[in-house]
Amino acid sequence: MLTHERDFARTLARQAGAIMLEHFRTGVAHRSKGDGSPVTAADEAINQLMLESVNRTYPGDGVIGEEGSSPATSSGRIWVCDPIDGTIPFTFGIPTNMFSLALVDDGLPVLGVLYDPYLDRLYEAAQGEGASVNGQPISVSDAPLSGAFIALHGAQFGLLDNAAVMSDAITQGMRVLALGSIVYESALVATGQITACVFGGQSVWDLAAVKVIVEEAGGVVTDLHGEPQRYDGSVTGGLISNRMAHTALADFMRTHVAGLGAG
């Protein structure tokens, strides 16, 4: 049931949300990391809160955080955290960003929470127990890929030629969203508002919580080839969909991932 872990994750999510709101404004100060992505004081404060909280409450567990990690010592379990997914819109004062946290056991996410502090929406799921937002059950849509809303990256980074993927999607009649946060976009899949997302990165903190929440809502999350992968290290991107569209999504992506190794 992971009752204690769920309570722990909910509490952390709300604490992280308070930090996000404290810093949120148009033109948030930030610096660029080595890969060119931005980081803010809020990202660093939330990641540090995560490290200290896990060490205090579950000292045998490890942490993989975007802004700092610590190894598991005895349990083999890992908490995977993205302090603010969507830091670019966060720095612009655009509220399409979320806190993301998953508990991963032997490579598989078994618990996940996402938190949108602006609308006070807490998404959560545990393996085999369904997914919810603020305690209300959620489910994916049954829409096909044809004519669907699909979220794609608007930036050129990661494993894909995102411009080519976007052009191909538009040519094939899909309606494209680019909101600056794969976590935010995946939450829209889990609640049935859009059909699918494509993630071309390798950062596990972008997908670990998404994996359990979308799948407990009835969807499916795989690597870019449509295959399973582990969530305790780098990933080979992600296809996130309502399950109905997943085969078609993997077929659509096949030419774009040709030659790309599996995770």
- Note down the domain range covering 112: 3-137
Tell me what pLDDT residue 1 has: 79
Q: What distance in Å separates the CA atoms of residue 157 and residue 129, rounded to the nearest whole number?
A: 35
Residues 16 and 88 in one domain: yes
26-67 tens-digit pLDDT:
656 566 655 657 778 899 999 999 999 999 999 999 999 988
Residue at a domain's end among 97, 115, 137: 137
158: left (phi over 0), alpha (psi -120 to 50) or beta: left
Residues 82 and 158 in one domain: no
230-258 tens-digit pLDDT:
999 999 999 999 999 999 999 999 999 97
Q: What distance in Å separates the CA atoms of residue 259 and residue 255, rounded to the nearest whole number?
A: 9
Q: Percent of the chain, pLDDT > 70?
A: 93
Which pair of tokens denotes residue 174?
Answer: 């899909």
Q: Is the pLDDT of residue 75 over 90?
A: no
Residues 34 and 64 in one domain: yes
Residues 33 and 82 in one domain: yes
Domain count across the chain: 2
In a domain, 217, yes or no: yes
Residues 188 and 211 in one domain: yes
90-124 tens-digit pLDDT:
989 999 999 999 999 999 999 999 999 999 999 99
- Structure confidence at residue 81 as a pLDDT band (50, 70, 90): very high
